[in-house]
Structure 1
């Protein structure tokens, strides 16, 4: 069974104090710190602000972003709880978090003057995430293999990629396509919220395609709101002789503010008749309506993530600090501190996506043995820790740490 798959206001990476790597402040065992976090979350949810603040002070004193995985995890969740507490306190006009706590917490929405710096740091942390963890590469490599197998024999290929980021997924696929004879043509329509980033991504991919002798076109498509992805499907030009592949890497969960919007989006994708639809998502339920349930689920999920980073990177790794404090730190802050329309990270487990996809008319396409062996090779060559595990369930591939499933990749038609 799957369940037993046995900062500053600008989000900058905090610099460690002298000799921090030789100092261990956390004297409580991990299970005790976990229970303190859960107790604090319960106090915050009950609006027992004074008691919650006392626990946050204890947690802040006994955590650091530069210790072991437990200390770093407690640090990030304590910051997120501080933000939630501060908002409760401000709304009640009753209690304010002391500046010693509040000033160390990243805000969810910075001022316009800091927005560009925030965005640059987030993109930098994404590149670090891609380099030091297998999570992104596993998802993209497995999806690429599913696409390559689906488009075999096609001479005109069109990929619709939702939130392409820096486009790091596509050079390996482009190289594989360019080696086919006769060489197919490739078009990528890519969505994103920043036209300049999209254009730079398109330029890089076009230069790479030129070096391969691959006929290539790139079309940027701006998507700013949760409603835009649905309307964007109507803006995509699909030529009669093209084989369409639709790619959603860690994207669908962003639409879960409105489940009807997700269903409409999936129906629109199905109506486009893609030859393959690749989906990667976080294997966690961070969309539970009750805060306490969501908090415990997030705590267990990110505990496994931080433990995996502990096992594969040295204590003073700057890249790991960037990934934990900026990329995962923003995710944790969003899951813990945001509510309602402001909450963006709404991950759900594969079984939920499976129900939604099937009800929209999609059929699961089994991932090939080669795709599975390729994922195993990726882990063995680049992330040799024995803690990473691959499991196949319902024709889909899951990557986990120890007994905790973390990510899923599936292919649909």
Structure 2
């Protein structure tokens, strides 16, 4: 995605300024490569049911890695914990004699705990502050919605259906943008979520913000007891009142991958959305395939992906950043545990989503406006000025990557 001659030039320029000398840097590189190979070997031991050898290697990796080391150390620490969790699940009747500190964040089996949910929500807000991932996805989706509004005959009445709105941090910038129009349109936000307190507080906060802008705004919460119950979601969508004189947008930012465990139900949801005749459907997803049926393929893909994520955090944040440590331990630790240790959330690349959207949903891709592209580039330049981040548009898919590794994709459909 993002490999280029400019990247090579920048890398050479960077390498020439390294301190300590290149031989030491080369030693670190070989050390990190060796650590990654040990992780892969440990995963292979677990895959082949050699649990005793896997347990010994996990103990070794746990002893030599740390959440306070460099990006590679922290990555090894997170993946070692996930492998330990997977091994524990497989040896449920014969747990290891020594244990590694268990993940203190929401795992697939503890996510319902209220305290864990609070920790996860706090981590999400930190993630939004210190990385461009969420902000890029949301602001780029917002621009696609604004472009769709501009092309609609019913731009005075806007209705957005937002799947898993969480704290609603995506919407204040869009609300401000439409409030500056003359006359400002009215906005109706139908938002789904699994936590009634967060939904209520989000609605109150957005309503107060809209009032401060003089924007006509209505918030309609949809409480879903189980976020991956597609039939329940479709039933709720059937009760949503649609008006013929409004522009409808459906926002699916980092949501649809949660439904991949039942592809038929996911396709039913896409067809349901299509029948609602939205002007635009915005979608953002992690640009990696963590849904391989083979555990080793899934593990290798995840290791490569999260190595780039941790490297990007290392390059853009202070060494002792508490926010970075929290995001790595909680947010990305949960994701890694899901991919490695459980049948939890899965991700697939844009090409898979493209096939589903076109073949199963009946959607067509919408091209990005030059303004949307310039806005995304400006976001990175102003807030995340690191040469490691790359932006590219391929086949109307907007990708954010770190060096040679694609990380997130955003696309819009109608």
Give the alignment's TM-score, normalised by structure 1: 0.90
Q: Is the 8 A contact 2:159 2:188 kept in 1?
A: yes
Look up the SS of the partner of 2:100 in the other structure.
Answer: helix
Aligned residue number for residue 193 of structure 1: 194
- In structure 1, the residue matched to 2:346 is 346
Give the Å deviation of 1:236.
1.4
Paired residues of 1:27 and 1:62 also in contact (CA < 8 A): no
Q: Distance in 1 between matches of 2:171 and 2:88?
A: 42
- Matched with 2:390 is 389
In the aligned structure 1, how far is the partner of 2:67 from the partner of 2:317? Answer: 14
3-state SS in 2 of match to 1:335: helix
1:307 aligns with 2:311: yes
1:53 to 52, 55, 77: 55
- Give 1:242 deviation, angstroms: 1.1
Instruction: Say which SS state the counterpart of residue 54 (structure 1) adopts.
Output: helix
SS in 1 for 2:220: strand
Q: Is the 8 A contact 1:388 1:399 kept in 2?
A: yes
Does the 8 Å contact 1:30/1:70 carry over to 2? Answer: yes
Instruction: Give the structure 2 partner of residue 133 of structure 1.
Output: 131
2:299 is aligned with 1:262: no
Within the candidate set 238, 242, 258, 2:246 is matched to 242
1:273 corresponds to which of 272, 277, 280: 277
1:328 equivalent in structure 2: 332
The verdict on how the C-alpha distance between 1:103 and 1:389 changes in structure 2, with shifts beyond 3 A counting, is: closer
Is this contact kept in 1: 2:196–2:223, CA < 8 A? Answer: yes
Separation in structure 2 between the aligned mates of residue 270 and residue 335 of structure 1, nearest angstrom: 30
Task: Tell me which of 59, 63, 70 is aligned to 2:65.
Answer: 63
1:7-22 to 2 correspondences below 5 Å = none
CA-to-partner distance for each residue in 1:114-163, whole Å, 9 max, x for gaps? x1211111000000000000000000110000100101261100000000
Which residue is equivalent to 1:253?
A: 257
Give the distance between the partners of 2:99 and 2:188, measured in 1 at CA: 52
Q: Deviations over 1:223-255 (max 9, x none)?
A: 233222222221211112111000000001011
Deviates more, 1:224-233 or 1:368-377: 224-233
After superposing on structure 2, the runs of 4+ consecutive aligned residues of structure 1 that deviate more than 3 Å are: 2-6, 102-108
Partners of 2:2 and 2:390 within 8 A in 1: no
Match of 1:229 among 229, 233, 238: 233
Distance of 1:103 and 1:149 partners within structure 2: 46
The alignment's C-alpha RMSD in Å is 1.7
For the residue of structure 1 that corresponds to 2:242, the secondary structure is coil
Distance in 2 between the 1:71 and 1:121 partners? 23
1:384 alignment partner, SS class: coil
TM-superposed CA distance for 1:102, in Å, is 5.1
In the alignment, the residues of structure 2 paired with residue 159 and residue 47 of structure 1 have an alpha-carbon distance, to the nearest angstrom, of 49
Measured in 2, the distance between the counterparts of 1:362 and 1:111 equals: 34
What residue is the counterpart of 2:148 in the other structure?
Answer: 150
Retained in 2: the 8 A contact 1:194–1:222?
yes
How far residue 80 of structure 1 moved from its aligned partner, in angstroms, is: 0.3
Instruction: Note the C-alpha offset of 1:104.
Output: 5.9
The aligned counterpart of 2:15 is: none
Structure 1, unpaired ranges of 5+:
7-25
Alignment partners' CA distance in 2, 1:396 and 1:28: 35
| TM-score normalised by the chain length of structure 2 | 0.90
Q: How does 1:65-80 map to 2 (within 5 A)?
A: 65-80=67-82
Structure-2 separation of matches of 1:401 and 1:102: 30
CA distance in 1, matches of 2:184, 2:111: 48
Q: 1:408 to 1:143 in 2, by over 3 A?
A: same
Name 1:20's counterpart in structure 2: none
CA drift at 1:103: 4.4
- The answer to which of 72-81 and 221-230 deviates more is 221-230
In 2: Cα distance, 1:262 partner to 1:109 partner? 23
Whole-Å separation in 2 of the counterparts to 1:232 and 1:55: 48
- Conserved 8 A contact 2:161-2:250: yes
Structure-1 residue corresponding to 2:97? 98
What is the alpha-carbon distance in structure 2 between the residues aligned to residue 160 and residue 324 of structure 1?
A: 30
Contact 1:83/1:102, CA 8 A, preserved across alignment: no
Deviations 1:301-338 (A, max 9, x none): 00000000000001110100111000000000011000
1:366 is aligned to 367
Determine helix, strand or coil for the equivalent of 1:142. Answer: helix
| Contact persistence 1:82–1:102 (CA under 8 A) | no
